[in-house]
Structure 1
Amino acid sequence: MRYRPVVRHTVSVSELNFRLPGRLRFSEEMPENPAVPRDAATVVLLRDSDQGLEVFLLRRVAAMAFAPGMTVFPGGGVDQRDADESVRWAGPEPSVWAEEFAATEPLGRALVCAAVRETFEESGVLLAGTEKGVVEDATRFGDARQALVSRELSLASFLRDEGLILRADLLRPWAHWITPAQEKRRYDTRFFVAVLPDGQHADGVTTEAESAGWQRPQDALADAEEGRSMLMPPTWHTLTELAKFPSAADVLAADRTIVPITPTIVRDGDGLRVVVK
């Protein structure tokens, strides 16, 4: 798959008005010194099924310090080793990703590497291969996957040892969300989309999730609306966007301009609401 330059248009989120579940603890008070957001990457894995477009979702364990019990896409914080320039690369160069996400070139590189690493750690899907093809069976790298999770191994070392290159051409930029200033743990998260490679299987075998699986975006939204799951505003909004697409190919072909979105938490009666102005 070759990368097609993004034709820019503005992604509108002005309609977002999201009432937070009562089980979540947020403060409406703006802290005097808000926490500095940590850079992070999230990957929305896509596949086509007989029922239509599906996305891979994980339900985080209740003991997690951030977003406990929430249904999320695979992702996590950037590791300083994700900026390693020795990573062999196919697809858009780090400078292209830096421009898409309004970042420095080293951060652009680190975000893509973090996206690939976190996706492999949390779902077993490996967006890597050779110049001729993508890995078809990632289960043979199970030991390396665990070593990546424990931070005994860096992504650069893993790819080098296995003779693999990172396939940035499998990713597309999608969104940029920053945790509200009222939250103690904040993330500056860039969202990517990618199609499940042929032959690979998303298993969700991670200590951070109690369950995982594929769902149509509209079904995931229905679960949240009926109280069977909980979604953070970025996840809810992303699912709402994806529910409009008939196929993974249509998602990859979507025109995007990435703008940073920082929601605000406001009081709404006896509850709290997230709004984007």
Structure 2
Amino acid sequence: MSTVASEKLIPSASLILVNERNEVLLVQRSSQTRSFAGMHVFPGGNFDAGRDTSLAITAIRETFEETGLLLTSPKSPRTLSKSDLDWTRRAVHHQELDFQTFLLRHKCVLPLESLHHFTTWITPSYASRRFRTQFFISFLPTCLEGDPSGASIGRVPTTDGGEEVQSTCFVHPRVAIAEFKKGSIKLAPPQYYILETLRQLLPGDTNTPEERERLIQLSQGPFGRLVIQPRLYHDSVSGAKIFLYEGDELRGGPVGRLHRAIVKQSGMFFSEIDLQRNFNIFEVDVSEASEAPATKL
């Protein structure tokens, strides 16, 4: 945990949605947003104590506001039309309608049990605005309001008119990584880290029960509980910028253990990210490694 008081960190949540084709939902932030402007990220936003009772609800609410997709439990009565949902989305987004009031009015039950922890990230200490972001992973098809059959995604994700999101898409992790390496999309290290993890675990184009179970197993182990607060180092030889993650040999981990990302930046964007991680993420709890004193690379 950071030595900076936790109350100075802005609590937030982000939702990783995986569909039946092993694609994940990404949104491109508007150039006008304060955080991740122009970058592709998973939908999400800040916890609002006046509207949310948990970070899981934050993740679902923000996904609804940003993409129009509302995750609900099969127990919910499926009565909302597309026009109703579109109006509700705008009203909730502009805080003209309380999200909890909307859920109660329409007896919508949120599938909170289907959201699984998938690491927590703390903004590096040098940043002026710092967040503690809980990532959740969930799988489609979960019932999505606006889909009468409940058998498929139903609603297509759409932007919020450009206020915070300028594009939305479902994309396979391997494609997202390839597009980043070509310079077609912009990613930040946390999103790259998660996409690279999913690329390795979801190789095919059809999501299987075994793959879902394996990701849930990962969520329930040390990886799901992992809190990552990158520490930035500069390699005096190569000039590379390196984000050291928990458990790396230069952060108190065993000699030879790598848990880091070597990055290059072009202006405000990352042009290259090379994730180096050489341990079993299902078994090794890197959070148990003690911090080493500052080390010059």
The two structures have a TM-score, normalised by structure 1, of 0.71
Partner of residue 76, structure 1: 45
Percent of paired sites with the same residue: 26
Q: From the superposition, tell whether residues 232 and 138 of structure 1 become closer, same or farther in structure 2 (CA, over 3 Å).
A: farther
Alpha-carbon distance between aligned partners in 2 of 1:135 and 1:44, rounded to the nearest angstrom: 26
Indicate which of 108, 118, 129 corresponds to 1:164: 108
Going from structure 1 to structure 2, the CA distance change for 1:267 and 1:133 (only over 3 Å counts) comes to farther
1:138, 1:193 → 2: CA distance? 25
Whichever residue aligns with residue 203 of structure 1, its letter is P
Match of 1:182 in 2: 126
Deviation, 1:162, is 1.5
Residue 158 of structure 2: aligned partner: 204
The CA distance in 1 between the partners of 2:82 and 2:18, in whole Å, is 17
Residue equivalent to 1:252:
212
2:99 corresponds to which of 152, 155, 172: 155
Q: How many residues align?
A: 220
Higher relative contact order (CA 8 A, sep 6+): 1
Which of residues 191, 198, 202 is equivalent to 2:135? Answer: 191
Which letter does structure 1 place at the counterpart of 2:12?
Answer: A
Query: Do the aligned partners of 1:60 and 1:210 also contact (CA within 8 Å) in 2?
Result: yes
Could you tell me which amino acid in structure 2 is paired with residue 64 of structure 1? T
Check if 1:42 corresponds to 2:14. Answer: yes
Tell me by how many angstroms 1:274 deviates.
Answer: 2.3
> For the residues of structure 2 that align with 1:248 and 1:111, how far apart are their CA atoms?
27
SS in 2 for 1:48: coil
Residue type matched to 1:266 in 2?
A: Y
Aligned Cα RMSD in Å? 2.7
The more displaced of 258-267 and 72-81 is: 258-267
Distance 1:34 1:111, change over 3 A: closer
Residue 138 of structure 1 deviates from its aligned partner by: 5.7
Q: 1:233 to 1:191 in 2, by over 3 A?
A: same
- Structure 1 partner of 2:146: none
Match of 2:31 in 1: 62
Query: Is the CA contact (8 Å cut-off) linking 1:266 and 1:272 kept in structure 2?
Result: yes
Please identify, of 56-65 and 244-253, the stretch whose mean Cα deviation from structure 2 is larger.
Answer: 244-253
- CA contact under 8 A between 1:193 and 1:252: conserved in structure 2? no
Query: Amino acid of the residue matched to residue 54 of structure 2?
Result: A
Asked if structure 1 preserves the Cα contact closer than 8 Å seen for 2:123 and 2:132, the reply is yes
State the shift of 1:121 in Å.
0.8
Q: Tell me which residue corresponds to 2:181.
A: 225
Unaligned runs of 5+ in 1: 1-31, 84-108
Contact 2:72 2:111 in 1 (8 A): yes
Name the CA distance, whole Å, in 2 between partners of 1:273 and 1:210. 30
Contact 2:15 2:43 (8 Å CA) reproduced: yes
2:198 match: 242
Larger Rg: 2
Letter in 1 for 2:33: M
1:15-54 alignment to 2 at 5 Å? 36-49=8-21, 53-54=22-23
Q: CA deviation at 1:126?
A: 0.9
Equivalent position SS for 1:81: coil
Note closer, same or farther for the CA distance 1:176–1:228 as it changes in structure 2 (3 Å cut): same
Checking the alignment, whether the CA contact within 8 Å between 1:58 and 1:204 is kept in structure 2 is no
* 1:185 partner letter: R
**Structure 1 residues 248, 158: CA separation in 2 closer, same or farther (over 3 Å shift)?**
farther
Give the counterpart of 1:266 among 233, 241, 249: 233
Describe the shift of the 1:132–1:126 C-alpha distance in structure 2 as closer, same or farther (beyond 3 A): closer
2:77 touches 2:108 (CA, 8 Å); kept in 1? Answer: no
